[in-house]
Structure 1
Amino acid sequence: MTTHLDGTRQRSFDFAVIGAGVVGASIARELARRGASVVVLDRASGVGGGCSYANAGILAPDHVSPLATPALLREAPLQMMRRPPAVRVRPTRGLTPWLGKLAASATPTRARVAQARLRQLANESTHLHRELGAQGLNPTLRKTGALDVYLRHPRGPVAGLLSPTELRELEPGLAPVAGGLHHTEEWVVESRSYVRAMLDDAMAHDAKVLFGTTVQQQVLSGGRVAALDTTAGRIRVGHVVLASGVESGALADQVGLRLPLRGGRGYVVDVATSAGTLAKPVRLKEHRVVVTPIKDWVRVAGSIEFGDEARTADLRRADALLEVAARVVPGLRGRPVLDRWAGERPCTPDGVPVIGATNTVQNLSVATGHGMWGLILAPVTARLIADQAINHRADPDLAWLSPDRFARRGTFLSRRIA
């Protein structure tokens, strides 16, 4: 898949997309399809080198929510005490004020408005995923529905709560649980196949993809990024899109743009399964663990850890998630482990993504900070970036996603709600 640039080949592009994960690959495809010349740069050796692999592989638009919510503040202490903990915090330099801003953003009004807006985007993006599937460009997309299960009876009434018997009729492989919910409008997508399909289609429209390539410096001239100095040499650019997850923060610093991103580390473990182990995703509500059947394996995903970006991932934590999942899906016990992985989900202190152009640099756009929702929001993010950068059609109602919001006083929704 990798294209090599040399002295005889193109070294000037309309767009350079930094990052080849689900978001960057989607943006590259969208730009290339609209006729732009595009180069994609990623320091990983190939597809799935970043947090685009460490996800549950589910499109569940009605579950999308900002990270900063009152529920998070209420539940975080309990989740930190669970075994294994669903939330873990390791105090490091700069983390405490960042968490303080996250907590300050978690007011009921802001959370309600942000959730409604994110779910609107998520529903639009799910429709785009389905369009890609109809075109043969989303090869693993399939509608499955999903179950939420409770190991203990939830406090208070829960509309539509199913009995253990009803749940096992839907999913015979479940162990006895207290109850649960059935969501019919949900889909499964394997993220690496999605990224490959997006990059393949981008290259079919003449985009170049450079894995194993690090952007060392953005060269500024006249308030614009004129070129990128990379390990593959200097590349001249008309426009730059930062879509490299947590790494986007350091790249933004190079040009004077403040992006206060932190990694929220998540874990996955893939387990080989036999036929009939599981037909649809299952979410263990108390433990925040997701079990997703993908092709001939099952993925177990969960946990969010802050303050561990510089530390080597302890993949025994993935095994702990598998132990929890096997309590609900006994067919996972003793099955071969195919892979373990950890990734840093890019998170913002107001809990919503960063999507759009910045006034700091004339030809720079940002697409990061999606947290746990990068896969589902990738197609709509690509459309928004392309509309703004190519068609100069920025939606004023999306100013709450602007990368410049962190340079303003107050929190991201203050002006909208006032």
Structure 2
Amino acid sequence: MIGGGIVGLSIGWRLAAAGCAVDVFERAKAGQAASRAAAGMLAAGVEAEPGEQPLLPLCLESQRLWPDFAAELEAASGLEVGLRREGTMVVALTRDDLNILRSNYEFQRKLGLPLEWLTGAQAKEREPFLNPRVAAAVYSPNDGQVDNRKACGALVVALAKAGGRLHEGVEVTGVEVTNGRVAGVVLGDGLHQADVVVLAAGAWSRQMAGLPPASLPPVRPVKGQMLSVSMDPADPLLRHVVWGPKCYLVPRADGTLIVGATTEEKGFDASLTAGGVLALLEAAWRTLPGIEERPITEMWTGFRPGSRDDAPILGPALGVDGLVLATGHHRNGILLAPITADAIAGYVLAGQVDPRIAGFGADRFAPREAAA
């Protein structure tokens, strides 16, 4: 397994629990890259956008799996993962916001999503500290959140208890291929032999030596800047996940309020910028004025693994037997972890592509003449 984020850890846990010999190699600390940077939203409903209809069933199915996945993970690790199911609200402040909100609401309702339209007063009843000028809101009861950092910590423990081996601070520099089949992964000057290699390295998944170009997943880093402030856990400013114009706000049980996130095509530039932080703070303040008095506790950047169509790349790689891809999740890595783990582990064990991921294989990016 190449990659120790939530996707790699989840697949590794499933395979180890099934009796496989599993080694997970992580170039830094497990769960400390995109999986740590994320906000943990399980927002299959409010994030449904025009053009992404093929992705919606996968997101909804994984969202449905999360409660059982969380319960199983907590039982296996003895650690809480912070799953919360209060629902999510999207708010509009101005007339332009209102027009966008209504258009999105009508589109999402046509997809069969169970959304509720709220007046500004109704939104304020649910979240009293919202901007008094809130014009309207949409409530999505099935959307929620999980504490992604806690979930990754629990996966590290569950993996070890299932017999999996996690190697942190060990960079895989390439994949060894012999006669068209994986032989293992390259670690410095050595080779770690493997019958199957799962490439789950997120935004770094394309940086694997030894693979033919057609086998490399078309994944790029999509930078996001984020920050958090502290609230009084006994009297928090927010209880629901709230999407405002140009930001989202995610409250944790410990009083942390996450504010995110920018979307930037900047390669692996990890710098925080004044403009990015200013944009987040201004948008958050317009949605939730009380944030002005709260201390900033952390600021960070992360790299979403974006594919050409912003959908995940799941299943066997092209041209190399034994190489399996689980990458390109873009903004849905946390949401899609359960279904990715089940489907990829199932493929490794049985050699059959799960019908639920059949439309998300690497072959969709292959030239038509090569795929024919």
- 2:82 matched to 1:126? no
CA change 1:341–1:263 in 2 (3 A) is same
Name the residue aligned to 1:92.
Answer: none
Name the residue aligned to 1:320.
Answer: 279
In structure 2, which of residues 240, 259, 262 is the aligned counterpart of residue 280 of structure 1?
240
- 2:32 matched to 1:39? no
Say which SS state the counterpart of residue 349 (structure 1) adopts: coil
Q: How many residues align?
A: 347
Counterparts of 1:218 and 1:20 in 2: how far apart (Å)?
16
Query: Does the CA-based 8 Å contact 1:55-1:266 persist in structure 2?
Result: no
How far does the alpha carbon of each residue in 1:228-279 deviate from its partner, in whole angstroms, 9 at most, with x for none? 2214953111110110111111227734314222221112211111122111
- 2:285 matched to 1:353? no
Name the residue aligned to 2:248.
Answer: 290
Greater shift, 348-357 or 368-377, is seen at: 348-357
Greater shift, 373-382 or 174-183, is seen at: 174-183
Name the residue aligned to 1:373.
Answer: 332
The normalised TM-score by structure 1 is 0.77
Say which SS state the counterpart of residue 193 (structure 1) adopts: helix
CA change 1:38–1:333 in 2 (3 A) is same
- 2:19 matched to 1:62? no
Say which SS state the counterpart of residue 197 (structure 1) adopts: helix
- 2:137 matched to 1:155? no
Name the residue aligned to 1:170.
Answer: 126
How far does the alpha carbon of each residue in 1:279-331 deviate from its partner, in whole angstroms, 9 at most, with x for none? 111101x31x110001220001122111x114342243235302320222122
- 2:141 matched to 1:141? no
Deviation at 1:341, TM superposition (A): 1.2
Query: Does the CA-based 8 Å contact 1:265-1:309 persist in structure 2?
Result: yes
Amino acid across the alignment from 2:228? D
In structure 2, which of residues 168, 172, 177 is the aligned counterpart of residue 211 of structure 1?
168
CA change 1:214–1:326 in 2 (3 A) is same
Counterparts of 2:189 and 2:86 in 1: how far apart (Å)?
43
Counterparts of 1:303 and 1:21 in 2: how far apart (Å)?
21
Counterparts of 1:147 and 1:28 in 2: how far apart (Å)?
34
Say which SS state the counterpart of residue 249 (structure 1) adopts: coil
Counterparts of 1:319 and 1:147 in 2: how far apart (Å)?
23
Counterparts of 1:179 and 1:328 in 2: how far apart (Å)?
12
Name the residue aligned to 2:203.
Answer: 246
The normalised TM-score by structure 2 is 0.86
In structure 2, the gaps of 5 or more residues are 107-115
Query: Does the CA-based 8 Å contact 2:59-2:336 persist in structure 1?
Result: yes
In structure 2, which of residues 219, 235, 242 is the aligned counterpart of residue 261 of structure 1?
219
The structure, 1 or 2, with the larger RCO (C-alpha pairs under 8 Å, 6+ apart) is 1
In structure 1, which of residues 335, 340, 349 is the aligned counterpart of residue 299 of structure 2?
340
Name the residue aligned to 1:74.
Answer: none
Greater shift, 294-303 or 370-379, is seen at: 294-303
Say which SS state the counterpart of residue 376 (structure 1) adopts: coil
Amino acid across the alignment from 1:298? L
Counterparts of 2:160 and 2:367 in 1: how far apart (Å)?
39
Counterparts of 1:329 and 1:140 in 2: how far apart (Å)?
23
Say which SS state the counterpart of residue 350 (structure 1) adopts: coil
Name the residue aligned to 1:392.
Answer: 351
Name the residue aligned to 1:91.
Answer: none
CA change 1:387–1:141 in 2 (3 A) is same
